[in-house]
Structure 1
Amino acid sequence: MTHSDEHTGRVADATSGSWVYSALPAGLRPYAQLARWDRPIGWQLLLWPCWWSVMLAANAPGQPVERWRIIYYLALFAIGAIAMRGAGCTYNDLVDHEIDARVARTRSRPLPSGRVSRMQAKIFMALQSLVGLGVLLQFNGFAIVLGICSLAIVAIYPFAKRFTDWPQLFLGLAFSWGALMGWAAMFGGLSAAPLLLYAGAILWTIGYDTIYAHQDKEDDALVGVRSTARFFAERTKPWLAGIYTASVALMALSAYAAGAGWPAYVGLILAALLLARQIVVLHIGDPDQCLALFKANHIVGWIIFLGLVAGAVENWL
Structure 2
Amino acid sequence: MSLISDDDAALPDAETDHPIWRHAPAWVRPYVQLARLDRPVGWWLLLLPCWESSALAAAALHRAPNLWHLALFFIGAVVMRGAGSTYNDYVDREIDSKVARTRGRPLASGRVSPRAAIWFIVAQCLVGLAVLLSFNGYTIAVGLLSPLIVLVYPFAKRFTSWPQAILGFAFAYGALLGWTAQTGSLGLPALSLYASCILWTIGYDTIYALQDVRDDAIAGVRSTARLFGAQVKRAVGMLYAASAAFAALAVHLIGGGLFAWLGVAAYAAHLAWQVSLTREETPVPVALMLFRSNRDAGLLLSAGFFMQSVAYLI
TM class by shorter chain equals over 0.9
Deviations 1:262-283 (A, max 9, x none): 2111111111111111111224
Which one-letter code corresponds to 1:47 in the other structure? L
Q: Is 1:254 aligned to residue 250 of structure 2?
A: yes
**Aligned residue in 1 for 2:45:** 45
Deviations 1:200-255 (A, max 9, x none): 00000000000000000100000100000000011011111111111101011011
Select which of 196, 213, 220 maps to 1:217. Answer: 213
Kindly state the Cα deviation for residue 11 of structure 1 after the two structures are TM-superposed. Answer: 2.2
Give the number of equivalent residue pairs: 311
**Aligned residue in 1 for 2:304:** 307
Aligned structure 1 segments of 4 or more residues deviating by more than 4 angstroms: 3-6
Which one-letter code corresponds to 1:289 in the other structure? V
Q: What is the DSSP-based 3-state SS (H/G/I as helix, E as strand, rest coil) of the residue aligned with 1:124?
A: helix
Matches within 5 A, 1:189-208: 189-208=185-204
**Aligned residue in 2 for 1:130:** 126
Q: Is 1:268 aligned to residue 299 of structure 2?
A: no
TM normalised by structure 2 equals 0.96
Kindly state the Cα deviation for residue 8 of structure 1 after the two structures are TM-superposed. Answer: 5.8
Separation in 1, partners of 2:263, 2:21: 36
The answer on whether the counterparts of 2:97 and 2:103 sit within 8 Å (CA) in structure 1 is yes
Q: Is 1:287 aligned to residue 275 of structure 2?
A: no
TM normalised by structure 1 equals 0.95
**Aligned residue in 1 for 2:77:** 81
Kindly state the Cα deviation for residue 103 of structure 1 after the two structures are TM-superposed. Answer: 0.6
Cα RMSD (Å): 1.5
Gaps of at least 5 residues in structure 2 are: none
Which one-letter code corresponds to 1:229 in the other structure? A
Which one-letter code corresponds to 1:305 in the other structure? S
Separation in 1, partners of 2:275, 2:263: 19
Gaps of at least 5 residues in structure 1 are: none
Kindly state the Cα deviation for residue 316 of structure 1 after the two structures are TM-superposed. Answer: 2.1
Q: What is the DSSP-based 3-state SS (H/G/I as helix, E as strand, rest coil) of the residue aligned with 1:189?
A: coil
Deviations 1:165-191 (A, max 9, x none): 110000000000000000111111101
The answer on whether the counterparts of 1:59 and 1:312 sit within 8 Å (CA) in structure 2 is yes
Separation in 2, partners of 1:9, 1:106: 11
Q: Is 1:113 aligned to residue 109 of structure 2?
A: yes
The answer on whether the counterparts of 2:216 and 2:222 sit within 8 Å (CA) in structure 1 is yes
Separation in 1, partners of 2:109, 2:87: 16
The answer on whether the counterparts of 1:169 and 1:202 sit within 8 Å (CA) in structure 2 is yes
Deviations 1:113-168 (A, max 9, x none): 11100000000110000010000000011100100011111110111111111100
- Percent identity (aligned): 49
The answer on whether the counterparts of 1:160 and 1:170 sit within 8 Å (CA) in structure 2 is yes
